Amino acid sequence: MPARTVQNPSALIGNVPVLDGNSVTFPAWRTRLEDLLAIQGVHDIVTGKLSRPETDYKDAKPVAQGSQRVYFAEESGTDWDSLSEVARATMKMTLSVDLAIRYKDLKPASLLFKTICDAYEKNTRARRMMLEDSFWCARHDPNQPIAKWIAKIRNAASDLKSVKLTPADQQICDRLLRGLDDTWKPIRDHLVYSPNEISLDDAIGALEAHEVSMQVTFDHSGENYAAAAVTKPKKRLGCWNCGQTGHHSSACPNPSLKNKSNATAKSAVARAGATSAAPLGNCGPSDDEDDDSFDKEIDVVWG
């Protein structure tokens, strides 16, 4: 007697597209909903694979496993009804308000699911024309990743399969390339005018590789420009007249170095014969200071 528990689907309901009466949304809605119902543990009840059992245990106490209720849908009609109501409520949460009101009285969950699918899967001329337009007239948005364009075409091809108009892989490949934006013209022309016939998988791989190459090229050049702007040193002005930085000799307000050197020479002659002493090791600026002063003058423009 296999038992089952129900998973809380509230965090995943947002991943199911809302069915609002538009038949274009129906294939995605059904696919996502069936995945959600499988996670929830009620997929076989909704699709009709598990019928309601004739036996019932109304007087039996609910069985719990930890904090979760355990259901025996294969043996107990009451448990089957409980799971069906859970699945029915989950499906109604994925419908628009108008559709939820329209189908509010449909029970059990399997009948609700079948009624919705029958309404949208009718092979009418209007539906066939709409699905054909969504495939043959689709246009690529260059602002979106190329994966979305590929998925759009493949989903449209799958929708055509539901009305027995399945396009061949080569037709899907042609439509994939024909609908590309003009900014993708180089890779489109390369694939269209290739001497060898390009398969659908090869075309998809080439488009994805082209997108990656464009992103790498742009990012790499941007990093180079940014690095160059950071590492480029800033030039400074230097004056030949006074030896200071910050201005050129044409606008120098200081006395000339030549006059200063003459005054220094006369002072040295006046002090001739004088004795001076200096402590050992005090021989002027250190080698490190000389190196620093030299480094500071590398970026100076003298004038």
Q: What is the pLDDT of residues 152-208, one digit of tens each?
A: 999 889 888 878 888 999 999 999 999 999 999 999 999 999 898 899 999 999 999
Of 93-97, 152-156, 202-206, 221-225, the least confident: 221-225
User: E strands of the chain, at which residues?
Assistant: 63-65, 68-70, 236-238, 300-302
DSSP state of 243: -
Q: In whole angstroms, what is the distance from residue 258 CA to residue 99 CA?
A: 98
Mean pLDDT of 81-102: 91
* In the predicted structure, residue 94 carries a pLDDT above the cut 80: yes
d(CA 3, CA 62): 12
Residue 144 has pLDDT above 50, yes or no: yes
Longest dimension (CA), the chain: 130
Share of the chain above pLDDT 70, in %: 72
Model confidence at 74, pLDDT cuts 50, 70, 90, reads confident
pLDDT bin (cut points 50, 70, 90) of residue 289 is very low
DSSP 3-state of 72: coil
Relative orientation angle of helices 77-93 and 26-40, to the nearest 10 degrees: 140
Instruction: Please tell me the predicted confidence (pLDDT) of residue 298.
Output: 59
Burial class (CB in 10 A: 0-12, 13-18, 19+), 257: middle
CA distance 237 to 235: 7
Is 277's pLDDT higher than 90? no
Backbone angles phi, psi at 216, to 5 degrees: -65, -40
Separation of alpha carbons 205 and 182, rounded Å:
19
SS3 call for 11: coil
pLDDT in tens, 39-69: 888 999 999 898 888 877 655 555 665 566 7
Give the model's pLDDT for residue 101. 92
SS3 158: helix
> How many Cβ atoms sit within 10 Å of the Cβ of residue 172?
21
> Rounded to two decimals, what is the model's pTM?
0.48
* All residues at 6 or more sequence positions from 134 whose CB lies less than 8 Å from its CB, including other chains: 24, 156, 159
Any idea what DSSP says for residue 165? -
CA distances in angstroms from 261 to 156, 255, 275, 283, 298, listed in the order given: 90, 11, 22, 21, 25
> Residue 285 class from Cβ within 10 Å (0-12 exposed, 13-18 middle, 19+ buried)?
exposed
Dihedral angle computed from the Cα positions of residues 22, 12, 159 and 135, in that order, rounded to the nearest 10 degrees: 80
More confident residue, 252 or 296: 252
Other beta carbons within 10 Å of 139: 11
- Lowest average pLDDT, out of 79-93, 98-112, 282-296, goes to 282-296
